[in-house]
Amino acid sequence: MKSISLIQFLIEERRAGHINAELSLLIEVVARACKRIAVATNKGALGGVLGEAGTGNIQGEAQKKLDVISNEILLEANAWGGQLAACASEEMEDPQPIPDMYPKGHHLLLFDPLDGSSNIDVNISVGTIFSILRCPDGVTEPKAEHFLQPGTTQLAAGYVVYGPATVMVLTFGHGTHEFTLDREVGSFILSRRDILIPEETAEFAINMSNQRHWEAPMQRYIGELLAGKDGPRAKDFNMRWVASMVADVHRIITRGGVFFYPLDAKIKSKGGKLRLMYEANPMAFIIEQAGGAATTGRERIMGLQPTGLHQRVPVFLGSKKEVEVATHYHVAADAAV
């Protein structure tokens, strides 16, 4: 079978009217930057990239060297091509303007440069997540408020997993597609088109160490899964938790499953653990385009009107039926109060 490169796929998407030339170039640039991050990640200890950077990000979290390196690679790659109006990164408090010496484009790029970075030092899969929005008409110097658009307005979203293989998953709102990096050739090659997540699953992902802090409906839902064949669901469930959202989502994209980072008493004041603009919205777009569902446990993630660039939300995503059951338990519990 003839292989289809990412470039060829992008040309076909342009011909189909799904994307314009500027967005196509933007995806190419992001993909090239991610290849560089893959190289840096693969070098591990030999590249001197492991360990702490000795700095903290806007979230107050200690940065790893690879967090900083990946952020710089993405910023540098995207500064000069003329496809962007501005970038925003999970690692930076404010949006990054395009330097005056370069032309500006019509897109806004948001990214989590290295998701799951606590896993780098133990050689477990990490990844990059990105989301692309249109810069509002007439805005020449985008500020944070111009990025605060609901997930439904995303033009594209994707992630790259740096695992045993480097894999990119991408959507423009016309299905979810997977590309695998051919290291010898240096190109991403289409490996799965129009991915579909099974509606039903017997596998869930959650950090069980937070169980005692969860809200009652979450306790009830997971309790029922754990009861297996002997419980009300009359079925045994398996559990996985990589603690790299990209890796957990990629498993769901590949064989189904459901992922939860619910609200709990420890993180309630922050609104959740995962970031709406850098993690929840792009993953929700990818999952919905693959036939899955993504909610906060109460409402559709992509319907939320963002209130801050670094806003956090609870995340329930994956196989539709399980997301619906867990969401229903929360909505019903709220209604009963």
Is position 116 an interface residue for ligand AFP (rule: CB under 6 A)? yes
List the one residue from 244, 295, 296, 327 that touches ligand AFP (CB under 6 A). 244
Q: Does 243 bind ligand AFP (CB under 6 A)?
A: yes
Rounded Cα distance, 35 and 146, in Å: 29
Nearer residue to ligand AFP within complex by CB, 213 or 220: 213
Residue 19 CB: number of other CB atoms within 10 A?
23
Among 117, 131, 171, 176, binds ligand AFP (CB under 6 A): 117
- Beta partners for residue 203, in sequence order: 238
DSSP letter (8 states) at residue 61: P
Relative orientation angle of helices 216-227 and 320-336, to the nearest 10 degrees: 140
Which of the stretches 153-161, 228-236, 238-246, 296-304 binds ligand AFP when contact is defined by CB under 6 A? 238-246
Contact 248, 259 (CB under 8 A): yes
Least separation in angstroms between residue 267's CB and ligand AFP is 9
Q: Pick from 129, 283, 279, 260: which is nearest to 203 by CA?
A: 260
Contact code string over 44-63 relative to ligand AFP, x by CB under 6 A: -----------------x--
**For ligand AFP, the closer CB: 172 or 260:** 260
Backbone torsions φ then ψ of 111, nearest 5 degrees: -150, 150
- Verify binding: residue 245, ligand AFP, rule CB under 6 A: yes
Q: Per rule CB under 6 A, is residue 115 in the interface with ligand AFP?
A: yes
Of the listed pieces 74-82, 111-119, 148-156, 175-183, which binds ligand AFP according to CB under 6 A?
111-119
Burial of 54 (0-12, 13-18, 19+ CB in 10 A): exposed
Q: According to the binding rule CB under 6 A, does residue 207 interact with ligand AFP?
A: yes
- Span from 79-87, 114-122, 154-162, 178-186 in contact with ligand AFP (CB under 6 A): 114-122
Q: Could you give the 3-state DSSP secondary structure of residue 174? A: coil
Cβ distance to ligand AFP smaller for residue 83 or 117: 117
Name which of residues 140 to 199 contact ligand AFP (CB under 6 A): none
Q: Residue 47, Cβ neighbours under 10 Å: how many?
A: 14
Instruction: Supply the DSSP string of 43-92, one letter for each residue.
Output: HGGGGT--SEEEEE-TTSPEEEHHHHHHHHHHHHHHHSSS-EEEEEETT-
Joined tokens for residue 287: 């999952």
Q: How far apart (Å, rounded) are the C-alpha atoms in residues 50 and 119? A: 10
CB of 300 to ligand AFP, least distance (A): 20
Q: Measured from the CB of residue 115, what is the shortest distance to ligand AFP in angstroms? A: 5
Q: Which is nearer to ligand AFP, 85 or 206 (CB)?
A: 206
Residue 86, phi then psi, degrees to nearest 5: -175, 165
Q: Least distance from C-beta 92 to ligand AFP, angstroms?
A: 15
Amino acid at 157: A
Q: Which residues would be at the binding site for ligand AFP (CB under 6 A)?
A: 61, 115-118, 207, 243-245, 274
